[in-house]
Amino acid sequence: MNHAFPCGTLCLDFVGTLRARRNAMPLEKLATPGLLDDWFVESGMMDLEPGASEADVMVAVQLREAVYDLVVARLDGRPLPPEAVAEVNMHASGLPVTVRLGPDGVVSTGPVAQGLASLAREAVQLLGGDDAALLRECARPECTQVYLDRSRGHRREWCAMRTCGNRVKAANYRARQHAEQA
């Protein structure tokens, strides 16, 4: 599996395909058409690879960054950037992933453009609805994942406990041990 899905919604998991944004060398998880295809299948959005091209990767990254700009504006309490709104709305107006009933149940397919339209629609619903108040950025300084905090009391700190949460807790433990030995 090439991708992780800790954020609570696919559009935020999609935003998280650029890891460690503030680092000098962020990790691009959509660097090739194959990785984009993998994301759609691994996310469960599509049952078959959409057959991404290099041009599709560029369009997907452009949409991802527009959604990220909107998320950051919501987190910071700033007005939504008009260019990002236009980009997301343009994609949201497209046809969503095709859903068909097959002999074994539901089959979801389509080209990359339909996957991006579905993601953009989800972003519109999230950013324009009540769930926008649940947006949080991971508290681990190196991580820039944004997630929905649906925890009781809304005190979740990390995108995922098994990764970032464990790293922060282990680092704090080591720091305490080091301080006691000094």
pTM score, whole prediction: 0.87
Supply the range of the domain harboring residue 110: 10-135
Answer for the pair 139, 158: CB distance below 8 angstroms, yes or no.
yes
Confidence at residue 171, expressed as pLDDT on a 0 to 100 scale: 65
Beta bridge partners of 146: 137
Does any domain span residue 76?
A: yes
Answer for the pair 29, 18: CB distance below 8 angstroms, yes or no.
yes
Does any domain span residue 156?
A: no
Q: CA 147, 148, 151, 153 torsion: positive or negative?
A: positive
CA 176 to chain centre: 33
CA 54 to chain centre: 20
**Percent of the chain residues past pLDDT 70, beyond the cut:** 91
Rounded to whole angstroms, how far apart are CA atoms 35 and 137?
A: 24
Residue 9: exposure state from Cβ atoms within 10 A (0-12, 13-18, ≥19): buried
Number of structural domains found in the chain = 1
Confidence at residue 107, expressed as pLDDT on a 0 to 100 scale: 96
**Residue 40 is part of a domain; what is its CATH number?**
1.10.3300.10
